[in-house]
């Protein structure tokens, strides 16, 4: 694997390998010295054309825990605001010997364009492109779900899938790259995926997606999901009225106190509530965000381990890359060797 651009083209073997390595990385985070020398001498560039808190900071923390040098590039204050193109920006980074570029961009397909170009030779990681994909978010969500599936606090054994798990994704699917990446990844890992949202916020062609669609949230909850993933209502991507009012949206599609209590009444003791953040509190989610069912802060924490795994596997030239893509055997990199040279170049 040279780049990480989407979960749609990620095989089960590759996804499980990454989740297994992320478990090892998480163990590093429990140590007194939380650092590995694995990417010493490598340079990771965070190239963010859109705002971010969680993704940018956790990629920075992940790279630093692996001893890489990190350059944070934000569009505000850069020459992009003077009209510099993606190509010229990329070639500038190439001249600075970037080994990995973590890119967030408002245009769907921008990371793939960068990866396919001869502008830069670095590994490209998609940190969210338009409404297309956000693969590391889906991977950290899968990591969180896999731990939950192995019972909260447990460590899943290598190769554990999400077979038998039912995950309900709710809300603004139309504008959500998180929803798309999760639909592809969770189904690849064997989970059953349900989607619920107002028809105006579900994309054309959703009937061909590998999931069941509901137009009523309570009907979807009645399917007894193991996890409910609330999506952020993405007002910044809306150029029209998609629902009558925020009060109406919250009543029909918000995970409010009533729906939180409903899980107790239904005896769904182990159902967790997820949200990728940032949250619109009081709109798509309320007290559930702070309840014992919430995995929201665990998702943020797990993001560092998953992004360490992604950087490590892309920059170290994973010896398991030559295995058949759908091979169901997975082994852990017990000694996490320091990669020799720039093997991805
Ligand atoms: N979930 C997520 O991508 O959050 P940020 O926009 O804060 O990075």
* Domain boundaries defined on the chain: 7-133+300-316, 135-298
Contact, 26 vs 306, CB < 8 A? no
> What is residue 318's three-state secondary structure?
coil
pLDDT digit string (tens) for 32-76? 888 999 999 999 999 999 999 999 999 999 999 999 999 998 887
Mean pLDDT over residues 213-235, rounded? 96
| 144 phi, psi to nearest 5 deg | -65, -45
Class for domain 7-133+300-316, per CATH?
A: alpha beta
Considering only 201-205, 229-233, 235-239, 286-290, which range has the smallest mean pLDDT?
235-239
Verify whether ligand 1 is closer than 6 Å to residue 55 (CB atom).
yes
| Whole-number pLDDT of residue 324 | 42
Is 329 annotated to bind ligand?
Answer: no
| Whole-number pLDDT of residue 329 | 34
Structure tokens at 345: 């170049």
CA 173 to CA 206: how far, in whole Å? 10
pLDDT band at 137 (very low <50, low <70, confident <90, very high): very high
Contact, 169 vs 198, CB < 8 A? no
CATH of domain 135-298: 3.40.50.1370
CA 169 to CA 296: how far, in whole Å? 14
| Whole-number pLDDT of residue 205 | 93
The residue whose two tokens read 């091979």 is 327
pTM: 0.91
Verify whether ligand 1 is closer than 6 Å to residue 137 (CB atom).
yes
Site to substitute for ligand 1 among 51, 55, 171, 182, most atoms within 8 A of C-beta: 55
Helix (H) / strand (E) element for 178: namely helix 177-188
| 145 phi, psi to nearest 5 deg | -65, -40
* Same-fold call for 7-133+300-316 versus 135-298: yes
pLDDT band at 82 (very low <50, low <70, confident <90, very high): confident
The residue whose two tokens read 């080994």 is 99
> What is residue 229's three-state secondary structure?
strand
CA atoms 139, 145, 146, 147: torsion sign: positive
pLDDT over 70, % of the chain: 90
CA 125 to CA 136: how far, in whole Å? 9
| Higher-scoring residue by pLDDT: 195, 323 | 195
CA 345 to CA 192: how far, in whole Å? 38
User: Is residue 222 scored above 60 in pLDDT?
Assistant: yes
Q: What is the average pLDDT score of the chain?
A: 90
Verify whether ligand 1 is closer than 6 Å to residue 113 (CB atom).
no
| Whole-number pLDDT of residue 305 | 97
Site to substitute for ligand 1 among 277, 284, 285, 299, most atoms within 8 A of C-beta: 277
Is 254 annotated to bind ligand?
Answer: no
Mean pLDDT over residues 203-224, rounded? 97
Separation of CA 75 and ligand 1 centre (Å): 16
Is 113 annotated to bind ligand?
Answer: no
| Whole-number pLDDT of residue 321 | 63
Whether the bond into 278 is cis, omega within 30 of 0: yes
Q: Which atom of ligand 1 is found nearest the CA of 128?
A: 3
pLDDT band at 154 (very low <50, low <70, confident <90, very high): low
> What is residue 70's three-state secondary structure?
strand
| Whole-number pLDDT of residue 328 | 34
Contact, 89 vs 110, CB < 8 A? no
Is 278 annotated to bind ligand?
Answer: yes
| Whole-number pLDDT of residue 61 | 97
pLDDT band at 335 (very low <50, low <70, confident <90, very high): very low
User: Is residue 332 scored above 50 in pLDDT?
Assistant: no
> 46, 101, 93: which is closest to 74 by C-alpha?
46
| Whole-number pLDDT of residue 323 | 47
pLDDT digit string (tens) for 196-212? 999 999 999 999 999 99
pLDDT digit string (tens) for 91-128? 999 999 999 999 999 999 999 999 999 999 999 999 99
Verify whether ligand 1 is closer than 6 Å to residue 344 (CB atom).
no
3-state class percentages of the chain: helix first, strand second, coil last, to nearest 5:
40, 15, 45
| Whole-number pLDDT of residue 240 | 66
| Neighbouring C-alpha atoms within 13 Å toward the C-beta of 9 | 8
């Amino acid at each position: 694997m040279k780049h990480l651009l989407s979960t749609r083209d990620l095989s089960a073997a590759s996804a499980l390998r990454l989740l297994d390595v992320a478990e090892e990385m998480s163990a590093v985070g429990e140590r007194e010295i939380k650092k590995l020398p694995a990417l010493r001498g490598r340079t990771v560039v965070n190239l963010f054309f859109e705002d971010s808190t969680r993704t940018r900071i956790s990629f920075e923390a992940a790279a630093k825990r692996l001893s890489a040098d990190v350059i944070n590039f934000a569009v505000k204050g850069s020459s992009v605001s003077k009209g510099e193109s993606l190509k010229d920006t990329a070639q500038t980074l190439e001249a600075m010997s970037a080994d990995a570029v973590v890119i967030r961009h408002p245009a769907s397909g921008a990371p793939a364009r960068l990866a396919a170009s001869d502008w830069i030779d670095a590994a490209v990681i998609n940190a969210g492109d338009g409404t297309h994909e956000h693969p590391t978010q889906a991977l950290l969500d899968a990591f969180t779900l896999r731990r939950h599936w192995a019972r909260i606090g447990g460590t899943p054994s290598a190769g554990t899938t999400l077979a038998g798990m039912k995950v309900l994704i709710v809300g603004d699917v139309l504008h959500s790259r998180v929803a798309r990446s999760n639909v592809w990844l969770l189904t690849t890992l064997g989970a059953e995926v349900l989607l619920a949202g107002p028809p105006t916020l579900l994309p054309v062609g959703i009937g061909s997606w590998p999931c069941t669609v509901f137009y009523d949230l309570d009907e979807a909850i009645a399917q007894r999901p193991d996890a409910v993933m609330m999506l952020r209502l993405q007002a910044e991507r809306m150029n029209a009225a998609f629902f009558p009012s925020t009060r109406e949206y919250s009543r029909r599609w918000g995970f409010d106190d009533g729906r939180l209590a409903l899980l107790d009444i239904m005896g769904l003791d182990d159902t967790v509530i997820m949200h990728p953040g940032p949250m619109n509190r009081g709109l798509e989610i309320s007290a559930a965000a702070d309840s014992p069912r919430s995995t929201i802060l665990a998702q943020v924490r797990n993001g560092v381990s998953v992004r360490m795994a992604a950087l490590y596997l892309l920059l170290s030239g994973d010896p398991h890359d030559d295995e058949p893509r759908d091979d169901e055997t997975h082994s852990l990199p017990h000694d996490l060797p320091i990669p020799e040279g720039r093997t991805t170049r």
